[in-house]
Amino acid sequence: MKKIIALLLAVIMVFSLAACSKKDPASTKGDDAEVATKDGEEPGETEEQGEPADTEDAEPDQEEPAAEGVVASFDWTEFDTLVNNIRTNVDLKEREAQMHQAEDMLMETGAICPLYYYNDVYMVKEGVKGFYSNLSGFKYFQFAELGDNSVMRLNLASEPDKLDPALNTSMDGAVLCINSFSGLMIHNPDGSMSPDLAEKVEMSEDGLTYTFTMRDNLKWSDGKPLDAKDVEYSWKRAASTETAADYSYMFSVIKGYPDDLAVAASEDGKTFTVELEAPCPYFFDLCAFPTFYPVPKEEVESAEGYMKDGKLVNPGAWANEAGFTSNGAYKLVEWKHKESMVYEKNPNYHRADEVKIQRLEFMLSDDEAVIYNAYRDGSLDFIDSVPTDEVKNLLDSKDPEFHIVDQLGTYFVIFNVKSNMFAGKTVEQARDMRHALSYMIDREYIVDTVAQTGQKIATSFIPAGMFDGRGNEPFKQSDDDFQYPFPEIAGYYPEEPDLEKAKELFIQAGFEFDGDKLSASTPLHIKYLTNKSDAHAAIAECIQSDFAQFGITMEISLQDWDTTLAERKAGNYDVARHGWIADFNDPINMLEMWMTDSGNNDAQFGRFDN
């Protein structure tokens, strides 16, 4: 297998703040917003998530630098083709090798700089029973109990970006969808899966055809009947190019994707049949994922703002205010934007007899101190973030309400490959710049002063603990078939910063030095985008301080969560914080998001106009 050159950094962070005062970074304060987003930010946000390889280079040789002011483009079609091949490859050993090759290509660009592997931190009152979460960060409140209380008060994050299951990409939005919608399958507390809207499912011998038999008497929250025809409509809508859902690529395992999806409901709406391109080991996971939840066609298409001049302009208009129809345990009855949301039990939910909490009241805020104080004074029963300066106390006191659980995900720094900071550089020089910056980050300092809940340094983008797609063996290991450049840590780069290597790479990228600083003739200024949070701000300040060692200036732009998502997706940034929590336990989920036409390709790979 190919050997890959080492690069990048790795930094472990988490919710903590430690203020990075050692290096006296510029004081930029934040408030909060989804430390664990999916931007997949999200499951997704979410929500939500490199280094060189000896493989066929993802970036072709380019002898001459781009014209001044022009960002050099590179061909990303090889990566796109490879991932498409992975999707249909039935030789699982070969498929695993192809996924290693795809990660090589991704890391070689230097545009994805992993910092740490996620774990999930939250606080919940001791009296809460029946609540559970999974490795994807999905949280299930619909079967929770809180003594004799009929109301549960929570904080997940600030204003959710989207509540249409097909359009959401953030983790907080995914959790809200999970508790207010239902799909064909559901994740159980023990990690297993079972039919949900379906009462049973049959698979053909070749693994290509699935037939779901729907439960009888399913209803929407408004009491209207729900059947397989609603599922057919919703899957085709979410996959279509017209809807342009960020997660539409998840339907690519189905024949006819995107606009002739091979799914069909029977005439009586009792059965739903799906034809796959190739056997898909994670297909049931997809059926439990919010993007695959049914939505009410009539309400979706009659919403004000849905169409303009005969053209679809806002597919999610129907779910922008409280009162929309859903089919899960709860329905949204009140939404004071940027302040609060109220969900009430849906009496038409097919498992309504299992729902004990009658009302979920959400506080919308990204101010961690305010959220934590509200939890401590009894105003909240569950919070999904903790102020960084409280983490040590919670650990030292072994507070039984403070929980740290495993999660499959990676927190990383992302570079916009189309950013003007790379203007005039060759493809190789731009890549060397990104790697050089990665080598400068002192992740150990971030581990010691910011991270406090046991996250592990990320040495590759695909998270530790993810399976290899052909059993329960970890993908992230060196073996006879594949060797990471740093096999002892199964990574693409060393664990400690290397300023000598960083300087060498900067010089290769065309920068000059006066001693240990970049010369005045070749300065570098970076604008770093992140959403508001003590933890995100602390990490940004540590990175800012590391870059300052070479005289690099970094401006930290702290934005609201929804603004951060929108700016990153639009490519309106140089460098940004990012995170991706896996939607299912297979490496393809961490790779296909970077295809050229993926709605989650925030690095803008393959999207050059010049």
What pLDDT, on a 0 to 100 scale, did the predictor assign at position 451?
65
C-alpha 531/C-alpha 25 separation (Å) is 18
Token pair of 444 as six digits: 């150990």
Dump the DSSP string for 492-520.
Answer: SS-SS--HHHHHHHHHHTT--EETTEE-T
What pLDDT, on a 0 to 100 scale, did the predictor assign at position 226?
98
pLDDT band at 608 (very low <50, low <70, confident <90, very high): confident
Q: For residue 299, what is the enclosing H or E element?
A: helix 297-302
Q: Is 341 exposed, middle or buried (0-12, 13-18, 19+ CB in 10 A)?
A: buried
Residue 513's φ and ψ, nearest 5 degrees, are -120, 145
What pLDDT, on a 0 to 100 scale, did the predictor assign at position 479?
83
Q: What angle do CA 156, 185, 198 make, to 5 degrees?
A: 135
Amino acid at 278: A
What pLDDT, on a 0 to 100 scale, did the predictor assign at position 485?
86
pLDDT above 90: percentage of residues in the chain: 76
What pLDDT, on a 0 to 100 scale, did the predictor assign at position 69?
80
**Is residue 56 within 8 Å of 78, Cβ to Cβ?**
yes
Mean pLDDT, residues 393-406 taken together: 95
DSSP 3-state assignment of 323?
Answer: coil
**Lowest-pLDDT range, 356-360, 428-432, 529-533?**
529-533
Which residue has better confidence, 73 or 54?
73
Mean pLDDT, residues 346-356 taken together: 98
**Lowest-pLDDT range, 16-30, 168-182, 315-329?**
16-30
Is 336's pLDDT higher than 90?
A: yes
What pLDDT, on a 0 to 100 scale, did the predictor assign at position 155?
98
DSSP 3-state assignment of 300?
Answer: helix
**Is residue 386 within 8 Å of 453, Cβ to Cβ?**
no
Mean pLDDT, residues 329-351 taken together: 98
**Is residue 181 within 8 Å of 238, Cβ to Cβ?**
no
Task: Please give the mean pLDDT across all residues of the chain.
Answer: 89
268-322 pLDDT, tens digit per residue, is 999 999 999 999 999 999 999 999 999 999 999 999 999 999 999 999 999 999 9
Token pair of 123 as six digits: 């606080």
**Is residue 289 within 8 Å of 250, Cβ to Cβ?**
yes
Query: Which of 225, 226, 228 is CA-nearest to residue 212?
Result: 228
CA 454 to chain centre: 20
pLDDT band at 442 (very low <50, low <70, confident <90, very high): confident
| Whole-prediction pTM | 0.86
Residue 352's φ and ψ, nearest 5 degrees, are -60, -30
**Is residue 436 within 8 Å of 429, Cβ to Cβ?**
no
DSSP 3-state assignment of 543?
Answer: helix
Mean pLDDT, residues 342-366 taken together: 97
Dump the DSSP string for 9-49.
Answer: ------S---TTGGG---------S-SS-------------
Is 201's pLDDT higher than 80?
A: yes
pLDDT band at 17 (very low <50, low <70, confident <90, very high): very low
**Is residue 420 within 8 Å of 525, Cβ to Cβ?**
no
Residue 605's φ and ψ, nearest 5 degrees, are -55, 130
120-153 pLDDT, tens digit per residue, is 999 999 999 999 999 999 999 999 999 999 999 9
Domains of the chain, start order: 21-118+408-594 (3.10.105.10), 185-301 (3.90.76.10)
Q: For residue 174, what is the enclosing H or E element?
A: helix 171-180
pLDDT above 70: percentage of residues in the chain: 89
E-strand ranges in 446-506 read: 456-457
C-alpha 275/C-alpha 132 separation (Å) is 32
Mean pLDDT, residues 419-440 taken together: 96
What pLDDT, on a 0 to 100 scale, did the predictor assign at position 480?
84
**Lowest-pLDDT range, 217-221, 224-228, 379-383, 560-564?**
560-564
Is 13's pLDDT higher than 60?
A: no
Question: Residue 570, CB half-sphere, CA atoms under 13 Å: how many?
Answer: 9
| 463 DSSP assignment | P
pLDDT band at 578 (very low <50, low <70, confident <90, very high): very high
Is 84's pLDDT higher than 50?
A: yes
Residue 12: count of CB within 10 angstroms of its CB: 24
What pLDDT, on a 0 to 100 scale, did the predictor assign at position 43?
43
Amino acid at 81: T
Which residue has better confidence, 554 or 55?
554
**Lowest-pLDDT range, 10-14, 263-267, 350-354, 484-488?**
10-14
C-alpha 338/C-alpha 500 separation (Å) is 47
| 87 DSSP assignment | H
What pLDDT, on a 0 to 100 scale, did the predictor assign at position 195?
98
C-alpha 12/C-alpha 22 separation (Å) is 17
523 prior amide bond cis, ω within 30: no
